[in-house]
Amino acid sequence: MDPEKAFGRVMTTLRRDPRVGEAKMFGALGLKVGDKYFAMLYKGQLVVKLPAERVAALVAAGDGKYFDPGHGRLMKEWIAFAPDLAARWGRLAQEAKGFVAGAKAKTARPRRSGR
């Protein structure tokens, strides 16, 4: 599927949420909740923000690559997905939206006794 069309579908679906807006990041059209960016189409790939642990697992599984905005520094909470995974882009972008909006709680750390 054409990456522009695939991302257009993602945008149309996620823009139904009144909290979601459009903005540019790294010169690419993207989506944000409030002032927090969570998804963009960058050089034909879907790039989303997810918890570092989730990104590491997806990269390890071969589903995506750490996002490099072009200055040689990989971003640990951002992952790029190739167009051949466009069928999953909607779910991945939805997951990213939940992450930046706080809908998905971070993994709880065990509490120390006596607190």
Contact 13, 90 (CB under 8 A): yes
Provide the pLDDT for residue 103: 55
pLDDT in tens, 19-78: 999 999 888 889 999 999 999 999 999 999 999 999 999 999 999 999 998 888 899 999
Name the residue with tokens 């750490």.
Answer: 66
Q: Fill in the DSSP letter of residue 84.
A: G
Q: Which residues does residue 62 pair with via DSSP β-bridges, in sequence order? A: none
Provide the pLDDT for residue 61: 96
Question: What does pTM read for this prediction?
Answer: 0.85
- Where are the domains positioned within the chain? 3-101
Provide the pLDDT for residue 104: 44
Contact 55, 79 (CB under 8 A): yes
Q: Fill in the DSSP letter of residue 81.
A: E
What's domain 3-101's architecture? 2-Layer Sandwich (3.30)
Q: Fill in the DSSP letter of residue 63.
A: S
pLDDT of residue 10 exceeding 60, the answer is yes
